[in-house]
Amino acid sequence: MSRVPLSVLDLATVREGHDSADALRGTTEVANAADELGYARFWVAEHHNMPAVASTSPPVLIAHLAAQTRRIRVGSGGVMLPNHMPFVVAEQFALLEALHPGRIDLGIGRAPGTDQATAAALRGVSPHLTVEQFPDHLRMVLALLSAEPPASRLRATPAATTFPEVWMLGSSTYGAQVAAALGLPFCYAYHFSMGGDLDAAVHLYRSGFRPSARHPEPHLMVSASVLAADTAEEAQYLAGPSRVMARSLRTGRLGPMVSPETAAATDLSDVDLSLLPGTQYAGTAADVVASLDELVVRTGAAELILAGAVYDPRTRTDSLARIAKEWGASS
Kindly list the structural domains of the chain, giving each domain's residue range(s) and its CATH number in brackets, ordered by start.
6-329 (3.20.20.30)
Give 214's contacts (C-beta < 8 A, 6+ positions apart): 165, 183
Kindly tell me if the per-residue pLDDT of 114 is higher than 80.
no
Q: In whole angstroms, how far apart are CA 291 and each of 227, 243, 300, 329?
A: 12, 19, 14, 16
* Rounded average pLDDT over 104-124: 73
Kindly tell me if the per-residue pLDDT of 183 is higher than 70.
yes
DSSP code for 82? G
**Predicted pLDDT of residue 149:** 66
What does the alpha-carbon distance between residue 92 and residue 79 come to, in Å, rounded to a whole number? 11
Kindly tell me if the per-residue pLDDT of 36 is higher than 80.
yes
What does the alpha-carbon distance between residue 280 and residue 224 come to, in Å, rounded to a whole number? 7
* Rounded average pLDDT over 59-63: 98
* Rounded average pLDDT over 10-26: 97
pLDDT, tens digit (0-9, with 9 covering 90-100), for 230-263: 999 999 999 999 988 888 877 777 899 999 999 9
Question: What percentage of residues in the chain have a pLDDT greater than 70?
Answer: 89
**Predicted pLDDT of residue 291:** 96
**Predicted pLDDT of residue 270:** 72
Rounded to the nearest integer, the mean pLDDT of the chain is 90
Residue 232 has a CB neighbour count (10 Å cut-off) of 15
Task: Give the Cα-Cα-Cα angle 102, 13, 277 (nearest 5 degrees).
Answer: 95
